[in-house]
Chain A
Amino acid sequence: MSKNLSPDVSECLELLETMHVIRYAEEQLGEDFAAGKLPGGVHLSVGQEAVAAGICAHLTDRDQVSSNHRGHGHFLAKGGEPRHLIAEIYGKQEGCCRGMGGSLHVADYSKGIIGANGVVGAGIPVATGAALANLMDDDGSMTVVFFGDGASNQGVLQESMNFAALWKLPLLYVCENNQFGQFSPTATVTAGVISDRAKAFGIPVEVVDGNDVRAVWQTMARATDHIRSGNGPMFVEADTYRIRNHFEREHLIVQTPYRSQEEVEKMRRERDPIKMLQEWLKAEDLADNETLQAIDEQAKTLVKEAVAFGDAGTPPPLDVGLKYQFAGTYN
């Protein structure tokens, strides 16, 4: 059916805008952190926007996304409002989680964004349960779990893959291999090829260039076809690169560099997913500079408005934690 689908021009331009919005939002948050404006820390996904954009382009509000500590991109790509993201990270009650969660826990359940997660790998069991709900609902909905190469070494991934393969859960595993687990290069803490682990459970695997948003989109077209047809889980390993630090200002605490600045600059220059798509669109004569500039401006404006919304927000009442802890109701 959609096996050999590629994104058309308008879909490419949407992917571009999504990536721009993520990039501008996160660069803003990086600046905000440096300026001491944020109450908490942030883990940014700059350079990895293509994975979130290409995967989420195929999902609807009925589908669930379970994310991780580097989850702003997943939130935005899945339809979360930029202003709700920014206000949340600013600790304002107008945020998506009313200022209770912040960067590590951005969620909008009405849009199927069932939470970023501060514990590495912990989104995987949650996604497994959501996929079980999808299976019991039997309505063609599915769940995507985004995790990194670091989380691949958590036991829950192997437990979850056993569940998903056994019960044919409509669950897509997306491993964003960004080459670093916190401050350790992946190869220093990870044996073998990560996606080979899925093969042991009989789960179909695709490995994709995670910085090529069109390739990610195409992979996801095949994955959704497979999963929504009731064939059980799939595993996508997206090869990408974390341009920024594990968290902002890590240079203040990390004494020994774990990668060279030259490597980072080379990736920024040559493998930026936004530039890659722009250049392809121009080379193929599918979009001119003016069109690309307009999309860029549109994203920039959206993020500026989101920042203004966040700035104008108000801190939540002091006792609100007690209020949100329990529903206090019975069915």
Chain B
Amino acid sequence: MARLRLIKAINEAIREEMERDEKVFVLGEDVEASIFGDLRGLFEIFGKGRVRNTPISENTLTGMTVGAAACGYRPVLHIMFANFLFTGMDGIANQMAKARLMSGGQIELPITIIASYGGGRANAAQHSDTPYSAFMNLGGVHLVVPSNPADAKGLLKSAIRCNDPVLYFEPAGRGGEMGDVPDEEYLTPIGKAAVVREGGDLTLISMGTTMRMTLQAADRLAEQGLECEVVDVRTLAPLDEDTICAAAARTGRVVIVDESRERASAASQIAAVIAERSFEQLKAPIKRVTALNAGLPLAPASEQYLLPSVDKVMAAATEISKNVRVSE
């Protein structure tokens, strides 16, 4: 096991996949300079033919990946901030999410888009969104959301090898976080959640940027005598309903922590699935801890007010731990 920073794990994944398959290439704005650090050094290794610095033209870039993929390539598009996915929305929503279906399955679309998402760093409203739930509704793209270096590498390698489009949501501001990464080659499967902590009193479910606060909340709840099972969802589409529902059923008390906004959040979908499949096992209402329904302001305290926090997770957990279903 090596201790690696999250951005270094991403970097290794791309380098290994580019070495493995010459059809893999990277494109995006300032990928040569790699101001996010996750692509650093790749230009020097693979050259300008395979690490393509592009104009700032998201709307064309997303559509270009479809054309290149349909002609046998495996583009990895780095879009920088996830908000810019909205700028390139036609290529994602109308083209890559539908081209295979519309063609009657004639083509594969091995496209990976890396987008850094999330708030809490005073980047103001256009550089801090957590937009993955909007993409959950498209139907034609897979969505992965790693929370630690090992999954960051394993999920990205799977995304690049996947013959369908994958949006890879990189947790913003977590690039420096260290974690154990296996030395040998491995893949983290798309569509599989992970139980990262066991405990019989409550089930906490989260993903990506909010995993850290969720685990911190689990530590503090343990100090208060509440043992939490914690699930890292890792893939939002397709959702690992079996793992999620089994974890929910084991304790019957569920808190879902998610940085997307409350209305039609990822947590909303997860809550709906649990309510449909595991209602009989629930002992209390499902609680969602999400961002509130507003854009994120610059002023740090005002931004934090809207975001999930350890305290909010604790409050939700405490509330439902007292709750007993009348029917029991």
Contact = CB atoms under 8 A, between A and B. Distances in A.
A124 B63 contact: yes
Interface in A290-331: 321, 323-331
Contacts of A100: 101-105
Nearest to B108: A327
Interface in B131-165: 139-140, 142, 158, 161-164
Contact of A163 (B54, B69, B103): B54
B219 interface: no
A166 interface: yes
A97 B67 contact: no
Contacts of B25: 136
A180 B105 CA distance: 34
Interface stretch (A37-45, A125-133, A182-190, A265-273): A125-133
Interface stretch (A11-19, A20-28, A114-122, A211-219): A114-122
B57 interface: yes
B320 interface: no
A205 interface: no
Contact of B100 (A110, A126, A133, A326): A326
A240 interface: no
Given A97-B104, A105-B102, A331-B110, A131 B57 contact: no
Interface stretch (A52-60, A152-160, A252-260): A152-160
A326 B90 CA distance: 19
Interface in B35-78: 49, 54-55, 57, 59-75
Interface string A100-111: 110001011110
Nearest to A143: B67
Nearest to A66: B67
A98 interface: yes
Contacts of B73: 132-133, 136
B95 interface: yes
A78 to B, nearest CB: 15
A129 B91 CA distance: 11
Nearest to A162: B55
Nearest to A88: B104
A198 interface: no
B327 interface: no
Nearest to A125: B63
A330 to B, nearest CB: 5
Contact of A331 (B55, B60, B91, B161): B161
Contacts of A122: 63, 90-91, 94-95
Contacts of A125: 59-64, 66-67, 90-91, 95
Nearest to B111: A129
Contacts of B139: 325
Interface string B81-111: 0000000001100110001111111111110
Nearest to B141: A326
B21 interface: yes
Nearest to B160: A331
A129 B66 CA distance: 7
B144 to A, nearest CB: 14
A48 interface: no
Contacts, number: 155
A138 B94 CA distance: 29
Nearest to B162: A330
A292 B37 CA distance: 66
Of the listed residues A155, A162, A325, the one surrounded by the most CB atoms of chain B closer than 10 A to its CB is A325
A137 B70 CA distance: 13
Contact of B70 (A95, A105, A114): A114
B100 A159 contact: no
Contacts of B69: 129
Given A136-B25, A166-B55, A328 B164 contact: yes
Nearest to A160: B60
Contacts of B64: 125-126, 128-129, 132, 163
Interface in A74-105: 95-101, 105
A169 B56 CA distance: 18
Given A125-B91, A132-B68, A331-B161, A95 B103 contact: no
Contacts of A136: 25, 49, 73
Contacts of B74: 331
A130 B103 contact: no
Contact of B68 (A129, A327, A330): A129
A128 B59 CA distance: 12
A321 B238 CA distance: 16
B166 to A, nearest CB: 11
Given A155-B59, A327-B108, A331-B161, A131 B67 contact: yes
Contacts of A133: 67-68, 71-73
A64 interface: yes
A119 B71 contact: no
A163 B55 contact: yes
A114 to B, nearest CB: 5
B161 A119 contact: no
B105 to A, nearest CB: 4
Contacts of B102: 97, 100-101, 105, 107, 115
Contacts of A109: 70, 103, 106-107
A326 B109 CA distance: 9
Nearest to A131: B67
- 10 pairs of A and B residues whose beta carbons are closest in the complex: A125-B63, A129-B67, A98-B104, A129-B64, A133-B71, A130-B67, A159-B57, A97-B104, A129-B68, A159-B60
Given A125-B61, A125-B62, 15 more contacts: A105-B102, A109-B70, A114-B70, A119-B90, A128-B63, A129-B66, A129-B68, A129-B69, A159-B55, A159-B60, A163-B57, A324-B105, A329-B163, A331-B110, A331-B163
9 contacts: A97-B106, A105-B102, A125-B62, A129-B64, A143-B67, A166-B55, A321-B101, A327-B100, A331-B162
Interface of A: 64, 66, 95-101, 105, 107-110, 114-115, 117-119, 122, 124-134, 136-137, 143, 155-156, 159-160, 162-163, 166, 321, 323-331
